[in-house]
Amino acid sequence: MPRTLHSALLLMMFAACGSSDPRALTDQGSSALNSGNFEAAVRNYEKALTALADAGDSGGSDWKRAKLGWVQAEARLDAPRAKEEFLAYAKASSGKVTDADYNLIASKFGDAGKFDEAIAILTAGKAAFPESPHLDALGKDLVNRAKATGASDALDKLKGLGYVGGE
């Protein structure tokens, strides 16, 4: 029985690989992202974004989910590009991007040890949402991460933002 189930799952996976359904592609991107396969995640998110754009849906919740997933995956592959893409998306979609989105994305850059990009996103998020408790907590978390890795440049930048010293 397990072998039959395994075969059925493989067939479903192969069938899904050829899918042009944006939601299925985004789901595949999320699965790849969660398993640490960042290249596959980027490919699936890019296919989803292309399919959504072709369908004329480049502003809805499906687009946002695929775009933010792409940024998270690309943060591991090309952090400067991912940062620029996120900031451009956030600027163009200011009513749709929340402080929680800034928090999530900057945190993922922090997870990847990309402190310059994380701090740039935190700074932009604080400019857009100055009273956000999410972003204040993130700033303190980034301080702890920078201390743990010995990232003194990041600590200096975070100090300039007021996150070091008054804890």
CA 118 to chain centre: 11
Best CATH choice for the domain 16-77 from the list 3.30.390, 1.20.58, 3.40.50, 1.10.3470: 1.20.58
Q: What is the pLDDT of residue 1?
A: 47
pLDDT 10s digits, 53-112: 999 988 899 999 999 999 999 999 999 999 999 999 999 997 899 999 999 999 999 999
Domain 79-167 classification at class level: mainly alpha
Tell me the two tokens of residue 138.
């993130």
Measured CA to CA, the distance from residue 29 to residue 24 in angstroms comes to: 9
Express each pLDDT in 119-166 by its tens digit: 999 999 999 999 999 999 999 999 999 999 999 999 999 999 988 764
* Domain range annotation of the chain: 16-77, 79-167
User: Tell me, what's the pLDDT at 18?
Assistant: 53
CB contact at 8 A, 83 and 109: yes
pLDDT digits (tens, 9 = 90+) for 31-43: 999 999 999 999 9
How many residues make up the chain in this entry?
167
